[in-house]
């Protein structure tokens, strides 16, 4: 599990600018699936060989709110609970602000490592005096930086890495298929964990380091072992925190990254919300297998023969990027169909790890090409010569062709659909990549 480094601070201090400079644009957007929430709120990055996840909490700030102070405080609160290192950004050009002091007070109360980044110090010689005031905030680590002009960012990252090395202990993984139970507050995540674990709920491990408030639950079913990863029910957060979007987003990021399979719970009595989609978007982007669960089935009135079918169709229409995911209808309250989720998990995980022989793959690809040639573009004909599966988990296919740059996204989608028709891959994302080779 990679450590989480969160950028916090009041608006306009330069959080987003810093975030963008730090992650660069090394991460290409590989496809543009409709419906995927593409907010770039978090990015994996690396410094001196140490990988971590950088979160821009600024990107999660509500756009228009009259309760600035409350929101910022809440944001700091969230960062304190979820992040391993906090980059507290202040505006060195405009000087110390009462809001900074409020945030500092909150951050100091907890024992999370904080680096106070005095930003907009574009020219340290000229602005030295601007920095001194900020020592008064009482943080051990203070560093003048300029996000925009990339001044001192290397030193700042060295500090981040040092702190990570000191504080984040290695986490020993338990044996078993790791299932992330994700979803927004009140979807029924804890209820599901309780239901599946029954009386024998055993706390198998405290996560080391700064995330020790999350625990895993090990269960056995049909001779198989599962680790349910759910941070929801362990320590009830305050109501305010629960309702915060970035809280569930941060939590989802953490959980999904560690998981083999995501179990995404939707409150069937409420339907799909934007927050739901955002959480699902993370699972999609992380390329993890996913099972969509409509919970609280017991509350759905007047169920008919085709109610499930209709709901499935509606969901897929709203979530076209997840059309490969199975949908199950459960009641965590009564236990109806909850163990089926474990069967689904086994199945999608097998698909996620499936390997197709090169011979068979090329037969399917050749047939697909005969039925529908890559469109000619700019007078040039794209010719696909050969395909191979380069990896599993997720399955990744490379198609070698003369002009990969001319292949449109929609043709890749067509090939993906053909692969799914022939080989299944239910519940797992797959990657289709075009590479150059004459
Ligand atoms: P956020 O609201 O904290 O995410 O702040 P932004 O990243 O949107 O930046 C707010 C403003 O500060 C923008 O106009 C930036 O161009 C400016 N800014 C950000 N970083 C720097 C910096 O290092 N030096 C200077 N001079 N301006 C900066
Ligand atoms: P979490 O925040 O996602 O962990 O959700 P909880 O497990 O705490 O459940 C939120 C509320 O929904 C609680 O009051 C549960 O009793 C209720 N709930 C959970 N699952 C079901 C269900 O299948 N049917 C009904 N009727 N209520 C449920």
* ipTM score of complex: 0.65
Q: What's the confidence (pLDDT) of residue 32?
A: 47
Classify strands 85-91 and 4-8 as parallel, antiparallel or unpaired. parallel
Q: What is the pLDDT of residues 190-222, one digit of tens each?
A: 889 889 987 544 444 333 333 334 467 888 888
Please check the confidence at residue 136 and state whether its pLDDT lies above 80: yes
Cβ-count burial of 160 within 10 angstroms (0-12 exposed, 13-18 middle, 19+ buried)?
buried
Separation of CA 113 and ligand 1 centre (Å): 24
What the block records as the tokens of 138 is 């009482």
Note the pLDDT of residue 126: 84
330 vs 338: CA distance, rounded Å: 6
Start-end of CATH 3.40.50.300 domains in the chain: 4-170, 177-353
Return the number of other C-beta atoms located less than 10 Å from residue 283's C-beta.
27
> Are 129 and 100 contacting, i.e. CB atoms less than 8 angstroms apart?
no
Q: pLDDT tens across 252-279, in order?
A: 777 888 899 999 999 999 988 887 887 8
CATH class of 177-353: alpha beta
**338 pLDDT exceeds 90?**
yes
State the pLDDT confidence band at 233, using cuts at 50, 70 and 90: very low
C-alpha dist (Å) from residue 33 to 29, 318, 426: 10, 12, 18
Residues tagged in the binding site annotation for GTP: 9-16, 56-60, 119-122, 183-190, 230-234, 295-298
**b/e string for 78-113 if b means 16 or more Cβ within 10 A?**
bbbbbbbbbbbbbbbeeebeebbeebbebbeeeebb
User: Can you tell me the mean pLDDT for 133-151?
Assistant: 92
Q: Quick one: 212 exposed, middle or buried, by C-beta within 10 A (0-12, 13-18, 19+)?
A: exposed
Task: Domain 4-170: give its CATH architecture.
Answer: 3-Layer(aba) Sandwich (3.40)
Residue 240: its pLDDT value, please?
46
CA of residue 148 to ligand 1 center, whole Å:
7
Q: Is the CATH number 3.30.300.20 carried by domain 358-436?
A: yes
Lining ligand 1 with CB less than 6 A are 9, 11-17, 58, 93, 119-120, 122, 146-149
- Taking only Cα atoms into account, the Rg of the chain, rounded to an integer number of angstroms, comes to 24
pTM for this prediction:
0.68
Report the pLDDT value the prediction gives residue 58, as an integer from 0 to 100.
60
**361 in Cβ contact with 388 (< 8 Å):** yes
Instruction: State pLDDT tens for residues 22-43.
Output: 887 544 333 444 444 444 467 7
Domain with CATH 3.30.300.20 in the chain: 358-436
Between 320 and 294, the higher pLDDT residue:
294
Return the DSSP state at 402: S
């Amino acid at each position: 599990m990679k450590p989480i480094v969160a950028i916090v601070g009041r608006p306009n201090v330069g959080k987003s600018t810093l975030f963008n400079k730090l992650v660069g644009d090394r991460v290409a957007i590989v496809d543009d699936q409709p419906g995927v929430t593409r907010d770039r709120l978090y990015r994996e990055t690396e410094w001196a060989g140490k990988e971590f996840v950088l979160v821009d909490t600024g990107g999660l700030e509500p756009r228009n709110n009259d309760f600035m102070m409350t929101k910022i405080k809440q944001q700091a609160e969230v960062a304190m609970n979820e992040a391993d290192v906090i980059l507290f950004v202040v505006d060195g050009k405009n000087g110390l602000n009462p809001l900074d002091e409020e945030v500092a007070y909150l951050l100091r109360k907890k024992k999370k490592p904080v680096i106070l980044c005095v930003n907009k110090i574009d020219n340290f010689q000229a602005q030295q005096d601007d920095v001194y005031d900020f020592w008064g905030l009482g943080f051990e680590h203070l560093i003048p930086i300029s996000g925009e002009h990339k001044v001192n960012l290397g030193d700042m990252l060295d500090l981040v890495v040092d702190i990570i090395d000191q504080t984040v202990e290695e986490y020993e993984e338990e044996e078993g298929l790791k299932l992330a139970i994700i979803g927004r507050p009140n979807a029924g995540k804890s209820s599901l964990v309780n239901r599946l674990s029954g009386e024998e709920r055993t706390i198998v491990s405290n996560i080391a380091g700064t995330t020790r408030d999350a625990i895993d639950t090990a269960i056995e079913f049909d001779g198989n072992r599962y680790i349910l990863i759910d941070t929801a029910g362990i320590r009830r957060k305050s109501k305010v925190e629960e309702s915060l979007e970035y809280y569930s987003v941060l939590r989802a990021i953490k959980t999904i990254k560690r998981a083999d399979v995501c179990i995404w719970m939707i409150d069937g009595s409420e339907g799909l919300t934007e927050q739901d989609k955002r959480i699902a978007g993370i699972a999609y982007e992380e390329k993890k297998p996913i099972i969509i669960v409509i919970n609280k089935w017991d509350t759905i009135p007047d169920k008919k023969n085709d109610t499930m079918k209709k709901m499935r169709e509606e969901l897929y229409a709203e979530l076209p990027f997840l059309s490969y995911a199975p949908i199950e209808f459960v009641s965590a309250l009564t236990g109806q169909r909850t163990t089926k989720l474990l069967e689904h998990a086994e199945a999608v995980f097998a698909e996620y790890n499936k390997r197709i022989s090169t011979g068979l793959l090329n037969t399917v690809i050749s047939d697909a090409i005969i039925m529908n040639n890559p469109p000619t573009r700019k007078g040039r004909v794209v010719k696909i010569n050969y395909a191979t599966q380069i990896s599993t988990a997720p399955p990744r296919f490379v198609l070698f062709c003369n002009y990969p740059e001319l292949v449109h996204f929609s043709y890749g989608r067509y090939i993906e659909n053909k692969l799914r028709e022939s080989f299944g891959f239910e519940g797992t994302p797959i990657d289709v990549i075009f590479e150059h080779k004459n």
